[in-house]
Amino acid sequence: MSLVFTKWASISLCLIVLCGSARFAGAQVLTGETKISELVIVNVRADKPSQEIKSLVEMLKVERAKGPAELNVDVVHGPTLNIPPEPRESNNLDVKPDPLLLTVTVGPKGNVELNSEKLGSLLNVEPLTKLLVKVFKDREVNGVFREDTNDVEKTVRLRLDPALKVSDLEKIAIGVDEAGSDRIVLLIDPPDTLPSIDTIFLPQVPSRKRKRH
């Protein structure tokens, strides 16, 4: 029997039994847990639009340090975002840049870039969405697949300035989601930090969701 532990930002907890329908409201994880910890998935619900990205990142780093198998952020009106594991030590590692990586960067004034290509600002994310649609279409035509799969590589990473708000994260995430990305990763480590090898592609991918109110 596999267990999934979900923790919301409001600190309400529940255990979901994958092989059954039982739910336990307000459950707590026992100290001394060992094997179950490998199956723990933590979802943080980003439901405060005015919260600074810096504060959200600090919360996510605390949760990540506890060693869950998967850590996600649920954007209220947008998709679920995946948080990569802590970076590995750079000693004796020869890591080459992945040319397929797509990174959206949002600066302190809301300026948007895709892999250093300037695409306006958060006031209008349509240029970003249109460019991503084109990139994904070109990859489909040229057979650019995710490693060891038959899936077109549509992963997009997001990096936001710490002074921005959760509402800004939601806006950019929705724009990327609408372009057709099937995996959106929120980067919470410094840009010059060496990422874990292959770890932004975690085994369990959050299901896409489109919530509109």
Task: Give the pLDDT band of residue 16 (cuts 50, 70, 90).
Answer: very low
Token pair listed for 110? 């809301």
* Strands lying side by side in the sheet with 41-46: 41-46, 70-75, 80-83, 183-186, 155-160, 103-106, 111-114, 117-121
Q: How confident is the model at residue 209 (pLDDT cuts 50, 70, 90)?
A: very low
Phi, psi of 168 (to 5 degrees): -70, -40
| 9, 13, 207 from 77: Cα distances, Å | 16, 21, 14
Residue 22 has pLDDT above 90, yes or no: no
Residue partners of 98: CB distance under 8 A and separation at least 6 = none
Least confident piece of the model among 108-122, 161-175, 179-193: 179-193
Q: How confident is the model at residue 90 (pLDDT cuts 50, 70, 90)?
A: low
* Beta strands 23-25 and 41-46, pairing class: unpaired
User: Is the pLDDT confidence value at 154 over 70?
Assistant: yes
pLDDT at 155: 95
- Is pTM beyond 0.75? Reply is no
pLDDT of residue 137: 95
Interval 76-104 mean pLDDT:
80
Q: Is the pLDDT of residue 68 over 90?
A: no
CB 109 within 8 A of CB 121: yes
Q: What is the DSSP letter of 140?
A: H
Q: Which amino acid is at 5?
A: F
